């Protein structure tokens, strides 16, 4: 019989592989359990498509917030940024009528709305990064303030009314299928995940963020421009949220100042469950993908089972706290 150690000597350490991919094992177990609990309703093609479509927007936010947590920070303004980008982009692409928000003579092309939504988000992200980097204000406080300010701007901009009657060209972005049977929002989410993975592992920016999260003082001594990279991290995070906001407005057919309620918590939970350490310097894009799917399986499974949405919030809160406690204990042992 071949022992585990012998297997390791032979070049395949099953225990190490399992430990490294624990989050994926958890996902597999959860899929099996939910499938059994729902009597097979969970694994139908229609439901899987709905799950992926629903989680796609949150996936974009999660990829962005991963970089801020990796840098030993956090961004809780992403849902507010999403809503602002949704309303701005939608207002530019309204069909002409008495209820048009901006009273344009002709609606803007869809790509103009897309660029405007992401640009507005980039401004918010830049401001977040600037204040965090140069005033040393705690990221939680800085982004909490940004959350309140951005929510207020979105409500003032729309006067708390939905921005509806959007052009077909704008709506097709979120409702169409560039790839047959694959919703555009899912396609874009996959692209964002790939970009996030490349930035994380194949660029100097990603290496710098790892170094800053590990020890920002040592990173600065090593010649890394800490402030510049923090600004880039928070700007990228907000751009991901802005892109998600534009697509959510397109998919729902209206821009609303309250869109994406609690999405920031889902994104933080998914990144945390996926192994992004709140002590900084630790993240894996594959783990984040698994974290997104785990939260999606939980949300979808509880919905099929008819569990109260209030209980769903309790479950999410427990997952966030449990994942952070587990992460802290794991890194305490290494220390």
Burial tier of 243 (Cβ tally within 10 Å: 0-12, 13-18, 19+) = buried
Topology of domain 43-322 in CATH is ABC transporter involved in vitamin B12 uptake, BtuC (1.10.3470)
Highest mean pLDDT of the ranges 11-15, 41-45, 235-239: 235-239
| pLDDT score of 18 | 66
| pLDDT score of 125 | 98
Residue 334 predicted with pLDDT over 80: no
Residues 6+ apart with CB under 8 A from 267: 58, 61, 62, 64, 65, 78
Task: Looking at 38-75, list the stretches that DSSP marks H as alpha helix, in order from N- to C-terminal side.
Answer: 45-70
| pLDDT score of 40 | 87
Residue 80 has phi, psi (to 5 degrees) of -65, -40
Residues 6+ apart with CB under 8 A from 228: 133
Q: What is the mean pLDDT of the chain?
A: 91
Q: Quick: pLDDT tens for 304-328.
A: 999 888 888 888 788 778 877 877 7
How many beta carbons lie within 10 A of that of residue 334, not counting itself?
A: 5
Q: How far apart are CA 31 and CA 23, in angstroms?
A: 12
Q: How far apart are CA 233 and CA 240, in angstroms?
A: 11
| pLDDT score of 19 | 67
Residue 229 predicted with pLDDT over 60: yes
Residue 3 predicted with pLDDT over 90: no
| pLDDT score of 333 | 59
Q: For Cα atoms 187, 48, 35, give the angle at the middle one, nearest 5 degrees.
A: 150
Better-predicted residue by pLDDT, 329 or 254? 254
CA neighbor of 82 nearest in space, from 238, 234, 265, 267: 238
| pLDDT score of 325 | 80
Q: How far apart are CA 273 and CA 276, in angstroms?
A: 7
| pLDDT score of 162 | 94
- Binning pLDDT at 50, 70 and 90, where does residue 9 land? low
Q: Quick: pLDDT tens for 236-286.
A: 999 999 999 999 999 999 999 999 988 999 999 999 999 899 889 999 999
| pLDDT score of 1 | 42
Highest mean pLDDT of the ranges 100-109, 244-253, 295-304: 244-253
| pLDDT score of 5 | 44
Tell me the HSE value of 234 on the side-chain side, using a 13 A CA sphere.
Answer: 27
Q: Tell me how far CA of residue 182 lies from CA of 106, 177, 188, 196, in angstroms.
A: 31, 6, 10, 21
Q: What percent of the chain has pLDDT over 70?
A: 93
């Amino acid at each position: 019989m071949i022992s585990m150690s012998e297997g390791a000597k032979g070049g395949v350490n099953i225990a190490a592989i399992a430990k490294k991919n624990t989050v994926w094992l958890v996902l597999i177990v959860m899929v099996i359990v939910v499938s059994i609990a729902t009597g097979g309703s969970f694994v139908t093609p229609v439901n899987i498509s709905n799950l992926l479509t629903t989680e796609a927007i949150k996936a974009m936010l999660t990829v962005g917030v991963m970089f801020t947590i990796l840098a030993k920070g956090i961004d809780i303004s992403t849902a507010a940024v999403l809503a602002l980008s949704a309303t701005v982009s939608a207002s530019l692409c309204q069909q002409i009528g008495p209820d048009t928000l901006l009273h344009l003579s002709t609606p803007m092309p869809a790509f103009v709305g897309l660029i405007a939504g992401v640009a507005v988000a980039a401004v918010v992200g830049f401001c977040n990064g600037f204040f965090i980097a140069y005033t040393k204000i705690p990221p939680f406080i800085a982004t909490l303030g940004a959350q309140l300010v951005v929510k207020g701007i979105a409500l003032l901009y729309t006067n708390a009314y939905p921005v509806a009657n959007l052009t077909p060209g704008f709506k097709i972005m979120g409702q169409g299928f560039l790839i047959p049977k694959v919703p555009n929002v899912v396609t874009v989410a996959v692209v964002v995940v790939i970009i996030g993975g490349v930035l994380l592992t194949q660029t100097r920016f990603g290496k710098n963020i790892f170094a800053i999260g590990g020890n920002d003082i040592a990173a600065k001594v090593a010649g890394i421009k800490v402030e510049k990279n923090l600004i880039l991290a928070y700007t990228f995070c907000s751009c991901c949220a802005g892109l998600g906001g534009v697509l959510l407005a397109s998919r729902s057919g209206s821009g609303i100042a309250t869109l994406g309620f609690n999405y920031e918590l889902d994104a933080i939970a998914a990144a945390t469950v996926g192994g992004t350490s709140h002590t900084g310097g630790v993240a894996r894009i594959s783990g984040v993908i698994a974290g997104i799917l785990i939260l999606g399986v939980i949300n979808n499974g509880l919905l099929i089972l008819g569990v109260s949405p209030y209980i769903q919030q309790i479950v999410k809160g427990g997952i966030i706290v449990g994942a952070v406690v587990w992460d802290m204990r794991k890194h305490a042992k290494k220390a």
